[in-house]
Amino acid sequence: MIVDVTNSITIHRTPRVIQLEGMFDVAPTSCSAQSWRAQLPLEERPWSIGAIVGPSGCGKSTIARAAFGTQLIGELSWPSEHSIADAFPSSLSIKEITLLLSSVGFASPPSWLRPYRALSTGEQFRVTMARILSENPARAVVDEFTSVIDRTVAKIGSCAIAKTVRRRHQQFVAVTCHEDVLDWLDADWIYQPHLNLFQWRGLQRRPLIHLEINRVHHSAWSLFAKHHYLTASLNHSAFCFIAFYDGRPVAFDAWLPFFGRLTPHQPLARRGHRTVCLPDYQGVGIGNALFTHIASMWVGLGYRAFSNTGHPAEIASRLRSPSWRCTRKPDFRQRGKNSYSVDVRRSVDRLVASFEFCGVPLHRPEAERVLTSWAMMN
């Protein structure tokens, strides 16, 4: 594909324009033109993700518009009062919508009920990307990609979006002036207009996300409560942990004693109580990594570790994971059954599954360190 485009505009030589020409020794002209010639050999090999990146004014948007036409996405319109779910194509089921939202890192059901205007900037970015992918099944080209969000959030979001694009077998092109997202997108190709340079890239692993996990007081739940998919309540006797990324609290995990059927040689067990990853950091597996790490800690200390969840993304993740054994296949809780637990009583007419951790336990010294490594929250 060869993109040959010229932008030409008429210069109206008003008195102020004539003054500017004189002040800065600009040659008088009645026309200003800029030309670009870009070679994008996109037909040479299969690809999923591309990036057009460079400083402002280098022609990124012009080249993207000339190369991809109507596939370059403009600003979306959203209902002013209705839930964001009502803005998605009518052909999608609510299950398909929620799975897509979760896959791009927006897995907070309480926020799904709100109108677009009531969301945070990071949440607006995620839901916009989900809707763009739903409305453009073949190829989506997004200008000013990640321009209005925090750079850490931009990196995490880029990784989540890239995973979704590849899983859905779509094509996605990010047009951006921010080079910091390139490694997180893991683009198959990059074009830099200011250098007129196109290059194919082999798939690489995204940068590692290093988490620091500490035990915390149950009061830390207040930072995460409103984002839980089921309830904002927390049992104050729970063992609570937080994962920190670059010094920021990003995910919360709480566990309670388990009193189900246990074996005489292993009579102690714990069960997951609450797990929440903040919306800006969803989509790259942080919540699941925290939950699995704490489960391996319990097993390393001689306990069994169980999970009971009704969140579709959590169920799907644990079904895929070799570290979890499904003890109760996903089905619908019926009112009046298994009423021994507050959590179960709330899971009425909702798909729920149960699992037991069967992965590698933490070595006991490390498990003891995690259990006793308290962090103070401001």
Cα separations in angstroms, 21 against 12, 13, 106, 194: 12, 9, 51, 26
For 189, the 3-state DSSP assignment is strand
Residue 326's DSSP bridge partners are: 355
pLDDT of residue 33: 75
Q: Could you tell me the fold of the domain covering 46-200?
A: Rossmann fold (3.40.50)
pLDDT of residue 332: 63
Q: Would you list the domain boundaries of the chain?
A: 46-200, 211-372
**Rounded to the nearest 5°, which phi and psi values hold at 11?**
-100, 120
pLDDT of residue 266: 67
Q: How confident is the model at residue 290 (pLDDT cuts 50, 70, 90)?
A: very high
Residue 151, number of CB atoms within 10 A of its CB: 11
Contact 3/36 with Cβ under 8 angstroms? yes
Question: Token pair for residue 2?
Answer: 């060869």
DSSP designation for 292: H
pLDDT of residue 378: 62
Q: How confident is the model at residue 343 (pLDDT cuts 50, 70, 90)?
A: very low
DSSP string, 137-148: SSEEEETTTTTT
The CATH superfamily assigned to 211-372 is: Gcn5-related N-acetyltransferase (GNAT) (3.40.630.30)
Which range in 68-77, 259-268, 348-357 is most confidently predicted, on average pLDDT? 68-77
Contact 329/290 with Cβ under 8 angstroms? no
DSSP designation for 174: E
In this structure, are strands 248-257 and 211-216 parallel, antiparallel, or unpaired?
unpaired
Q: List pLDDT tens digits, range 21-45.
A: 888 888 888 887 778 888 999 999 9
pLDDT of residue 265: 67
Q: List pLDDT tens digits, range 82-111.
A: 999 999 999 999 989 988 998 898 888 888
